[in-house]
């Protein structure tokens, strides 16, 4: 039986850099909504907020963060992640260079109203000719003190080994789609062996309500809803067993796997529920059952369909 956890843990991703295991995701939250949603999350106890250049909501996120700081929260109490959009030459969007990657974090800091972030990520491996230069820029930004830790998102082992082969430092983290239907065990094992922390996004894919709200659809939302509704959900029975929601079961699974998770909601009740992951533990029998549910690579993002950035 896993030890019962009542205090949200932190994950050490670099020397002196401790990532809260439950973060608040902001993908598909508009800039206008972001301030209220992030404020509600901070009020509910979240101390890790995740955004990105391409989400176009850094200003709203920043307003909530700075309001909280003005009300007495210390900057060291909050962990802030943002991501550089690397460009997408295949879609006609110029790839970021070393110089424009540096400029992108400066712009993000301006929108956030901060002098540094805690984690800066390359959002996706879309730019094969520029990936190494972008990574050199992140190393430089860390040296400048504009970010405390650096990492990547949606990178495979091949992409990471490309950075290491260039003689550059390893990423501190890789933010990837992880949930019972996409467990990526081989990649996770590689990350851990290399000293890179996996961070899970799209933890709630197995729910029929995943991205069901208008404007929140992904290319595969309807496919996933049909799959979720076609069979009796084992997560519903687990939720009843533990007296929690299905979302809490899925998020708790990620935490028990040792991942940081990034639930997103604009509903204050769900925001609080999604942070309540430490009053119960998924037992060994259910963890073993979930281990057999893997369906493959995932649905939220793929290099063949880079139209969504979770």
pLDDT of residue 310: 52
Confidence of residue 94 (pLDDT cuts 50, 70, 90): very high
56 neighbors 23 (Cβ within 8 angstroms) = no
55 is catalytic: yes
For 116, counting Cβ atoms within 10 Å of its Cβ (0-12 exposed, 13-18 middle, 19+ buried), the class is middle
Mutual angle of helices 31-43 and 268-275, in 10-degree steps: 50
Confidence of residue 302 (pLDDT cuts 50, 70, 90): low
List, for residues 110-136, the tens digit of each pLDDT value.
Answer: 999 999 999 999 999 999 999 999 999
In angstroms, the Cα distances linking 101 to 55, 162, 207, 269, 304 are: 17, 18, 36, 38, 23
How far is 133 from 98, CA to CA, in rounded Å?
Answer: 5
Confidence band (pLDDT; 50, 70, 90) for 209? confident
pLDDT above 60 (res 2): no
> Please, which residues bridge with residue 179 across strands?
182
Percentage of the chain modeled with pLDDT above 70 = 87
Is the pLDDT score of 255 beyond 80? yes
Beta strand 17-20 with 24-25 is unpaired
Residues 275/51/186/169 CA torsion (nearest 10 deg): -120
Helix 98-112 crosses helix 131-143 at what angle (to 10 degrees)? 50
Q: At residue 274, does pLDDT exceed 90?
A: yes
- CA 292 → CA 38, 91, 296, 297, distances in Å? 35, 37, 11, 15
**Chain-wide mean pLDDT for the chain?**
90
- Catalytic pick from 27, 46, 55, 259? 55
Per-residue pLDDT tens digits for 162-183: 999 999 999 999 999 999 999 9
CA dihedral sign, ordered 116, 95, 205, 1 = negative
Q: Compute CA 176 distance to the chain's CA centroid, rounded to the nearest angstrom.
A: 7
Q: Give the whole-number percent of the chain exceeding pLDDT 90.
A: 84
- pLDDT of residue 217 exceeding 60, the answer is no
- Cα Dmax for the chain: 53
pLDDT classification of 6: cutoffs 50, 70, 90: low
DSSP category for residue 179: B
CB 46 within 8 A of CB 24: yes
Find out whether 196 and 173 touch, Cβ atoms under 8 Å.
yes
């Amino acid at each position: 039986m896993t030890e019962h956890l009542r205090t949200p843990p932190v994950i050490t991703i670099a020397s002196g850099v401790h990532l809260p295991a439950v973060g608040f995701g902001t993908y598909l939250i508009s800039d206008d909504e972001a301030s209220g949603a992030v404020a509600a999350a901070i009020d509910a106890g979240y101390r890790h907020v995740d955004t990105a250049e391409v989400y176009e909501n850094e200003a709203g996120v920043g307003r909530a963060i700075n309001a909280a700081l003005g009300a007495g929260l210390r900057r060291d109490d909050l962990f802030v992640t943002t991501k550089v959009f690397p460009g997408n030459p295949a879609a006609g969007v110029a790839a970021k260079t070393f110089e424009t990657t540096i400029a992108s974090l400066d712009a993000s800091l301006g929108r956030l109203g901060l002098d540094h972030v805690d984690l800066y990520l390359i959002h996706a491996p879309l730019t094969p000719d520029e990936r190494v230069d972008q990574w050199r820029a992140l190393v430089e930004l860390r040296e400048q003190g504009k970010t405390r830790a650096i990492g990547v998102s949606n990178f495979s082992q091949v992409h990471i080994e490309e950075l290491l082969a260039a003689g550059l430092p390893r990423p501190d983290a890789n933010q990837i789609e992880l949930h019972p239907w996409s467990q990526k065990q081989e990649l996770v094992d590689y990350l851990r062996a290399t000293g890179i922390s996996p961070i899970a996004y799209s933890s709630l894919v197995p729910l029929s309500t995943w991205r069901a709200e208008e404007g929140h659809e992904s290319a595969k939302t309807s496919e996933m809803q049909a799959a979720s509704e076609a069979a009796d959900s084992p997560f519903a029975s687990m939720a009843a067993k533990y007296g929690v929601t299905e979302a809490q079961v899925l998020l708790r699974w990620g935490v028990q796997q040792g991942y940081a998770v990034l639930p997103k909601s604009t509903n204050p009740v769900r925001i609080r529920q999604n942070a309540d992951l430490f009053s119960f533990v998924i037992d060994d029998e259910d963890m073993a059952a979930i281990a057999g549910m893997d369906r493959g690579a995932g649905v939220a993002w793929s290099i063949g369909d880079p139209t969504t950035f979770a």
